[in-house]
Amino acid sequence: NAGVTQTPKFRVLKTGQSMTLLCAQDMNHEYMYWYRQDPGMGLRLIHYSVGEGTTAKGEVPDGYNVSRLKKQNFLLGLESAAPSQTSVYFCASSYQGGLKREKLFFGSGTQLSVL
């Protein structure tokens, strides 16, 4: 099993360009999350999904959109990139087994630089 796979691993954008980050999981997890990690701050939730076809805003959703058309895929889009979106992005998934059985699985991260 691959677990959680993120692509791409690195990307450099110019201000105003758009891009999509892809997250795929092969564990049949219901819940998927997109986080960003910035120096001196903890991971912050951008958007999340509790099942196919559903998405919800997290802590820092502005400037991002997401889609969950298939259960195994969770896409994060930047429509018009800004330098403030320079960050490391992590996708994660978890099994909907109730809180006592929850375990998070993370992708390897995407380093995004916006010039």
Partner 1 sequence: KNEVEQSPQNLTAQEGEFITINCSYSVGISALHWLQQHPGGGIVSLFMLSSGKKKHGRLIATINIQEKHSSLHITASHPRDSAVYICAVRLGFTSGSRLTFGEGTQLTVNP
Per CB under 8 A, the segment of 12-20, 66-74, 77-85, 87-95 that binds partner 1 is: 87-95
Q: Which is nearer to partner 1, 17 or 60 (CB)?
A: 60
79 in Cβ contact with 14 (< 8 Å): no
Contact 115, 83 (CB under 8 A): yes
Does 5 bind partner 1 (CB under 8 A)? Our answer is no
Contact 56, 66 (CB under 8 A): no
Using DSSP bridges, classify how beta strands 44-51 and 19-25 pair: parallel, antiparallel or unpaired: unpaired
Minimum distance from CB of 16 to partner 1 (Å)? 27
Asked if 64 contacts 80 with a C-beta cutoff of 8 angstroms, the reply is no
Taking the complex as a whole, how short is the minimal distance between the CB of residue 94 and partner 1, in angstroms? Answer: 6
Residue 1 interacting with partner 1 (CB under 8 A) = no
What's the CA gap between 85 and 5, in Å, rounded? 21
Given the rule CB under 8 A, which residues bind partner 1? 30-31, 40-45, 48, 50, 56, 58-59, 88, 90, 92, 94, 96, 98-100, 102-106, 108-109
